[in-house]
C-alpha cells in the first residue's frame, strides 16, 4: 500500500487555491482531525483521550455511521468538537459517477451540519472540486498518521505524526475499527509530545 505520510509540497501548491492542505499564518499550532467515524469501538475512547488532554478536534464523519450511531455523533458535538462531511457511504471519487458522488455528499449533509468536506481516500476530481467548492471548504491534510495500515505499528504511527509535522499542519487519524490499536495507543503519546514542545493542538477553524 503506497501513500504519502506528508503530502508533497508540489501537490499542495498545485491545488492550493481549491483545496485546504494546511492552515496558513499560524505559529506553534497544529490541527487534529479524525476520519470515518463515529464507531462505537473507537470513537468513545478517542473522546476520552481528548478530554483528558483538554484537546478539541475535527471529526470527518461518514453519514451512514452517523445514522447508525446518532448518540455518538451528538457526543462529539456536545463535547465541543467540530465535524465535517466525509460522504454518506465513504465513496471513492475516482470510481464513482460524478452525479452519484454529489448526491451521496448531499445525503450526508442532511445529517452533518458542516461546511467542511473531506473526500474519502483523499481522492477527488477537478470537476467535483468545481462543484463542491460552491458549498464546502474542501479539506485535505498535510500529515497522514498511517494508523489504518496493518503494516504500521504504534511506534511508526507516532513517528509518522510527530517527526513530519510543522506549524499549521492538518493531521489525520482514523476512528474506525481498522485503525483501533494504532490510534488508541499512538494518540495519547502524540498529544503528550506536542504538549511538551509547547505546540497547541486544535480543531479546524469553523466555517
**What would the DSSP string read from start to end of 60-89?**
EE-HHHHHH-HHHHHHHHHTT-EEEE--SS
Average pLDDT over residues 157-183: 95
Whether the pLDDT of residue 194 is over 90: the answer is: yes
Catalytic residue among 35, 36, 169, 175: 35
Spatial separation of the C-alpha atoms in residues 104 and 153, rounded to whole Å: 33
pLDDT of residue 77: 98
Distances (CA, A) of 64 to 67, 90, 131, 154: 5, 9, 23, 28
Domains for the chain: give ranges and CATH numbers.
14-202 (3.20.20.370)
Q: What are the tens digits of pLDDT across the range 140-168?
A: 999 999 999 999 999 999 999 998 899 99
pLDDT at residue 163 in the model? 87
CA distance 56 to 50: 7
Cα separation, 53 vs 188, whole angstroms: 8
pLDDT of 93 strictly over 70: yes
Q: pLDDT band at 95, cuts 50/70/90?
A: very high
Q: For residue 132, what is its C-alpha cell?
A: 463542491
**Quick one: which of 172, 146, 140, 124 has its CA closest to 1?**
146
Number of H helices, E strands in the chain: 8, 8
Cell of 128: 467535483
What is the rounded distance in angstroms from the CA atom of residue 28 to the CA atom of residue 53?
A: 17
> Is 35 labeled as catalytic in the residue annotation?
yes
Pairing of strands 82-85, 58-61: parallel
pLDDT in tens, 5-64: 665 555 556 565 789 999 999 999 999 999 999 999 999 999 999 999 999 999 999 999
Residue 97 annotated to the active site: no
Mean pLDDT of the chain: 93
Write down the catalytic residue from 36, 174, 175, 206: 174
Amino acid at each position: 500500500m503506497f501513500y504519502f505520510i506528508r503530502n508533497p509540497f508540489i501537490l499542495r501548491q498545485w491545488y492550493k487555491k481549491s483545496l485546504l492542505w494546511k492552515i496558513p499564518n499560524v505559529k506553534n499550532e497544529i490541527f487534529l482531525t479524525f476520519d470515518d467515524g463515529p464507531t462505537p469501538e473507537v470513537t468513545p475512547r478517542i473522546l476520552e483521550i481528548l478530554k483528558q488532554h483538554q484537546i478539541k478536534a475535527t471529526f470527518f464523519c461518514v453519514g451512514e455511521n452517523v445514522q447508525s450511531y446518532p448518540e455518538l455523533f451528538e457526543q462529539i458535538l456536545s463535547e465541543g468538537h467540530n465535524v465535517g462531511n466525509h460522504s454518506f457511504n465513504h465513496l471513492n471519487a475516482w470510481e464513482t459517477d460524478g452525479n452519484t458522488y454529489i448526491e451521496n455528499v448531499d445525503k450526508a449533509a442532511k445529517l452533518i451540519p458542516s461546511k467542511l468536506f473531506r473526500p474519502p481516500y483523499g481522492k477527488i476530481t477537478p470537476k467535483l472540486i468545481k462543484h463542491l467548492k460552491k458549498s464546502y471548504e474542501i479539506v485535505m491534510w498535510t500529515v497522514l498518521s498511517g494508523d489504518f495500515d496493518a503494516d504500521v505499528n504504534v511506534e511508526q504511527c507516532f513517528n509518522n505524526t510527530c517527526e513530519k509535522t510543522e506549524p499549521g499542519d492538518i493531521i489525520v487519524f482514523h476512528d474506525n475499527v481498522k485503525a483501533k490499536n494504532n490510534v488508541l495507543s499512538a494518540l495519547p503519546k502524540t498529544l503528550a509530545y506536542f504538549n511538551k514542545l509547547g505546540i497547541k493542538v486544535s480543531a479546524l477553524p469553523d466555517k
